[in-house]
Copies of this chain bind each other. A is one copy, B any other.
């Protein structure tokens, strides 16, 4: 049995939508147990009516608009804070939340705790590749400024993820840069390049923004500032293209019919670019796997996220990251 703690509060959607996703995950995997963290009115009836579900009753919620670090400190009974504590106490093997990214990051880093020797946990997302080969992209924004030795750990964690979860034997790791040539880069990127080239981490050279969705690397690393800019640029372009296509739809009957015929493909495309197909972003470097789903979520995305957390637990990712970074786990 694998136990995942699911925080059903703090997303843009109602807890009922998240619980519907949890029910789907329980139905899909009979070796899954869940600990649902949230307000009694939601989680108690759910636990009573579902096998393999227990309730973790909490009285507070951290909303998207609150300052993450302050809210995590102030709200000791917030669902995400209690969920992280439950994972640390061994009541669950992993955690899934669709709440505020900052609150999940902060609560998980302090509550679940870092693996000993990990300098900075990093937020990673497997992006789909044009070639069909996904690329693990990190850090998506957990750490704005990082030193070269931290980038090397990001590469090692990303490589462990690609091996353990995606089954890539020898992952090719790229450094996000302003050109593929090794002479390209800001002063900091040149220092990253030098450190990566000197380390045992599968480094294969500089990657460009165009490589993130091209499947040319198995892992692409960046500091959280650059990674967040790239992530949001991708997200914005996806939105732009879909909005333009929808606008084109109104322009003529021909376009309207074209869009209707393509609706299924457009929807799956939006899912791929949002990371929902892979169940959300994984916070790497903690003592147990923590997955962060999109706040504007759906029951299906919560189901995918919970099952992705199960896969990551069963793949032994935490132990493999410790090995990859040569830490005493």
Residue ranges of A at the interface with B (Cβ–Cβ < 8 Å): 128, 130, 141, 144-145, 176-179, 184-187, 189, 208-214, 222-226, 228-241, 243-245, 248, 251, 254-255, 257-262, 265-266, 269, 272-273
Contact = CB atoms under 8 A, between A and B. Distances in A.
Contact of A260 (B225, B231, B258): B258
A226 B229 contact: yes
Contacts of A178: 141, 144, 224-225, 228-229
A277 to B, nearest CB: 12
Nearest to A269: B244
A264 to B, nearest CB: 8
Chain copies in the assembly?
2
A240 to B, nearest CB: 4
Given A144-B185, A228-B178, A259-B258, A237 B239 contact: no
Interchain residue pairs A-B with the least CB separation, the first 8: A209-B232, A258-B261, A209-B233, A210-B236, A248-B265, A178-B228, A237-B237, A258-B262
Given A212-B236, A214-B240, A262-B262, 15 more contacts: A130-B240, A144-B189, A185-B225, A186-B223, A208-B229, A209-B230, A210-B239, A212-B233, A230-B233, A237-B238, A244-B272, A245-B262, A245-B265, A258-B260, A258-B261
Contact of A234 (B209, B211, B257, B266): B209
Contacts of A176: 229
A48 B228 CA distance: 53
25 contacts: A141-B178, A144-B185, A179-B228, A208-B232, A209-B228, A209-B234, A210-B233, A210-B235, A210-B239, A213-B236, A229-B229, A230-B230, A230-B233, A233-B234, A234-B237, A237-B237, A237-B238, A238-B241, A244-B265, A245-B265, A245-B266, A245-B269, A248-B262, A255-B261, A258-B262
Contacts of A226: 225-226, 229
Given A228-B178, A244-B130, A257 B265 contact: no
A207 to B, nearest CB: 9
Contacts of A213: 236-237, 239-240
B225 A189 contact: yes
A124 to B, nearest CB: 16
Contacts of A239: 130, 210, 213-214
